[in-house]
Amino acid sequence: MVVLELSEQDVNRLFRALADATRRDIVCRTLVADVSVSQLADSYSMSFAAVQKHVAVLEEARLVAKEPRGRERMVRGNLDRIRQAQRLLDSFEELWRSRIDRLDILLAEDEPAPPDS
């Protein structure tokens, strides 16, 4: 099993990259098929350069990778990164569960559970 080795900065970049509808759409499209930057650019009502920048943000977050193919760059989504994000969210859930566990222990004590103090 691969250890989750992400710096806080990496996590910031990861979630930030996902916090934009155009970028999420790019991730979707590049997960289901190989697409070039110019093909992507044709789909959105913004300049080529703007799309290029969105791809760059996704690339820094390692949510996609670019691979040269002739004179164009094919963009491919990186599912592993998505899974890392999922594991991060899982850890929140585990924290929450640990709280419930502690509450259960309190409730199981001989003495009645003290109110939150």
Partner DNA sequence: ATATCATACAATCAAATGGTTGTATTAGAA
Partner DNA sequence: TTCTAATACAACCATTTGATTGTATGATAT
Q: Which residues bind DNA (CB under 7 A)?
A: 16, 19-20, 22, 36-38, 41, 46-50, 52-54, 57, 66, 70-73
The binder of a second copy chosen from 4, 48, 67, 96 (CB under 8 A): 96
Phi-psi region of 62 (alpha: psi -120 to 50; beta: other; left: phi over 0): left
Binding partner at 48 among DNA, a second copy, none, C-beta below 5 to 8 Å by kind: DNA
Give the integer Cα–Cα distance in Å for 96 and 72: 46
Q: What residue type is assigned to position 106 of the chain? A: L
Which residues have CB under 8 Å from 18's CB, separation 6+? 24, 27, 61, 63, 85
> Are the C-beta atoms of 81 and 61 separated by less than 8 Å?
yes
Contact between 8 and a second copy per CB under 8 A: yes
Q: Could you tell me the smallest distance in angstroms from the CB atom of residue 39 to a second copy?
A: 13
* Residues near a second copy (CB under 8 A): 8, 11-16, 18-21, 24, 27-28, 31-34, 77, 79, 82-83, 85-86, 89-90, 92-93, 95-96, 98-99, 116
